[in-house]
């Protein structure tokens, strides 16, 4: 930007000043995407919705993001559908994007002809369809956030199940587990998961965030300082399941904003690029 400013000065300061004052050069208002997220601790650990808002806010252009999030520890989508809070929110307002995240390894069943007929698998695919139907009526795109497994074989089954769920819902699959495994192979000294080997570290959550942002915005994010003005929730956080994550006062109390420097982000943003 400094170089561009210097060139403008050399070309004629008065012309540059006049152009800067004209309505045609006034900053355009950035659109806002309203995003509904439904899932469990893989979303609320490190506050994935907060990271999405922060990453969007840090960009020089592109959409801002507003979130409303319905999460329960260990929840399956069928449980969310039966509980009704997320479906009611989806029916009661306009949404641009709906993110659905199934519990852990549940979708791996869809990759197996035998397991596909089991109740847990049938209930999962049914819940995916039910949420996707409501999203279509609300005019929203649906993203299916894939999860991760302990080894390559398990991950392959998860990804195949995710593709199956995407086919039956006409939704967009986001292969987060595949991206995390690829990043881990290139950075074996980096800790991507907590001690339980299941929940993401902040680094892993940022990779998942960047992958979701790419699908929502239509382009990848650029590295910029991120202001984290929300709680980075640990596994086992207690919350009111009847309220969206953003309105859980006990979780959001006494947050001290911190800034994550842009220098930390390039490799994570690169890891979010699609390669499947």
CATH T-level topology, domain 33-271? Rossmann fold (3.40.50)
Sheet strands side by side (includes 172-174): 64-71, 32-39, 97-100, 141-145, 172-174
CA distance 223 to 59: 8
Cβ contact 274:219 at 8 Å = no
Q: Where are the domains of the chain?
A: 33-271
CA distance 237 to 231: 11
pLDDT at 252: 78
User: What does 171-233 look like in DSSP terms, one character per residue?
Assistant: PEEE-HHHHHHHHHHH-TTS--B-TTSSSBPHHHHHHHHHHHHHHHHSSPPPP--EEE-S--P
pLDDT digit string (tens) for the chain, length 276 residues: 444 343 333 334 433 343 344 445 555 789 999 999 999 999 999 999 999 999 999 999 999 999 999 999 999 999 999 999 999 999 989 999 999 999 988 998 887 888 887 889 999 999 999 999 999 998 999 999 999 988 889 899 999 999 999 999 999 999 999 999 999 999 989 999 988 889 999 999 999 999 999 999 999 999 999 999 999 999 988 888 889 999 998 887 768 899 999 998 998 999 888 755
């Amino acid at each position: 930007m400094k170089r561009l400013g210097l060139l403008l000065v050399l070309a004629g300061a008065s012309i540059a000043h006049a152009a800067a004052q004209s309505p045609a050069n006034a900053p355009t208002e950035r659109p806002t995407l309203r995003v509904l997220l439904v899932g469990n601790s893989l979303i609320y650990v490190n506050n994935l919705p907060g990271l999405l808002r922060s990453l969007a806010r840090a960009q020089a252009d592109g959409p801002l993001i507003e979130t409303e999030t319905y999460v329960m520890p260990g929840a399956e989508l069928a449980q969310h559908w039966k509980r009704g809070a997320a479906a009611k929110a989806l029916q009661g307002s306009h949404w641009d994007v709906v993110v659905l995240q199934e519990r852990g390894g549940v979708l791996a069943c869809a990759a197996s002809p035998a397991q596909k007929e089991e109740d847990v698998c049938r209930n999962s695919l049914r819940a995916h369809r039910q949420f996707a139907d409501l999203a279509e009526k609300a005019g929203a795109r649906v993203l299916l956030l894939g999860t991760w497994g302990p080894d390559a074989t398990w991950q392959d089954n998860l990804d195949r199940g995710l593709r199956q769920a995407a086919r039956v819902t006409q939704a967009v699959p986001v292969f987060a587990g595949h991206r995390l495994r690829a990043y881990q192979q290139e950075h074996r000294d980096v800790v991507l998961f907590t001690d339980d080997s299941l929940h993401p570290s902040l680094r892993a959550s940022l990779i998942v965030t960047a992958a979701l942002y790419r699908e929502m915005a239509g382009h990848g994010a650029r590295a910029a300082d991120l202001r984290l003005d929300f709680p980075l929730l640990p596994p086992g956080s207690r919350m009111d399941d009847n309220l969206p994550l953003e309105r859980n006062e006990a979780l959001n109390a006494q947050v001290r904003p911190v800034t994550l420097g842009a220098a930390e982000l390039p490799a994570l943003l690169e890891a979010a690029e699609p390669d499947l």
